[in-house]
Each structure stands twice: as C-alpha cells, then as structure tokens.
Amino acid sequence: DSGVTQTPKHLITATGQRVTLRCSPRSGDLSVYWYQQSLDQGLQFLIQYYNGEERAKGNILERFSAQQFPDLHSELNLSSLELGDSALYFCASRGPLAGGRGAKNIQYFGAGTRLSVL
C-alpha cells in the first residue's frame, strides 16, 4: 500500500459528460501529480500541485482542470468527455522539500481510476 488513495476505482460515463477524480496524498506529502495512462499515449504527466498551488503543467487538455485543497487532497475534473479520454488516471504524491534527497524526489502512486467513456 503506497498510502496514496484514489477514488473511485472505476468510472463509466457517456461522451459530453463531466467527472471528478479524487486523490488523497500520503500523510505529510505536499505535492500531488496527475498522470494519464492509455494504450496509445503511454504514461503522460498532466499537472502538479504543491501545497495548494499549481507548479507544473504537462500534456493537459483545456477541458481538464485540477486543484489542491487546504487539506492537501486533490481533484481532477474532466469535462466534455470524448471517447479518447478513456484511460487510467493516476495520482502520485511526493515528500516535502525539507525531506532528504529521497523524500523530495520519489513519487508514490495510487492504484488509479479507470475511466471508460462510452
């Protein structure tokens, strides 16, 4: 168990809909990362938050947005869903910068949310 919790595990929805994925990082971790894993694109970094603020953006579509709340959990919002958005969405958390070299460089992954858009 990595200590990172993602809900729900599975999500089935229709095209055009909007969904919210939730992530709770490991206790004490300030950073949250979101990734998308699909057969054709592999593992793609979407966005990162650190202590409530956006820190880095990857290949995130404009239809997608995220935020990190004061209790450090994060939500990824996917709207106007298309068939191609079907994928596994992972959240990962990383330790604080004040930690050792390992703490601030190792990401721990949740079990993922499998999104199916029909």
Partner 1 sequence: AQSVTQLDSQVPVFEEAPVELRCNYSSSVSVYLFWYVQYPNQGLQLLLKYLSGSTLVKGINGFEAEFNKSQTSFHLRKPSVHISDTAEYFCAVTHGSGSARQLTFGSGTQLTVLP
Q: Extract the tokens encoding 17.
A: 């809909």
**Under rule CB under 8 A, residue 93 binds partner 1:** no
**Under rule CB under 8 A, residue 25 binds partner 1:** no
Closest CA to 47 of 109, 91, 102: 91
Q: Kindly indicate which of the ranges 19-27, 60-68, 69-77, 97-105 contains the residues binding partner 1, using the contact rule CB under 8 A.
A: 97-105
**Under rule CB under 8 A, residue 14 binds partner 1:** no
- Distances from the Cα of 83 to the Cα of 35, 62, 80, angstroms: 18, 16, 10
Residue 108 in contact with residue 94, Cβ under 8 Å? Answer: yes
Smallest gap, in angstroms, from Cβ of residue 67 to partner 1? 16
Question: Roughly how many angstroms between the first and final C-alpha of the chain, as a whole number?
Answer: 31
* Chain residues that interact with partner 1, rule: CB under 8 A: 2, 4, 30-31, 33, 42-43, 45, 48, 50-51, 55-56, 58, 90, 92, 94, 97, 101-102, 104-112
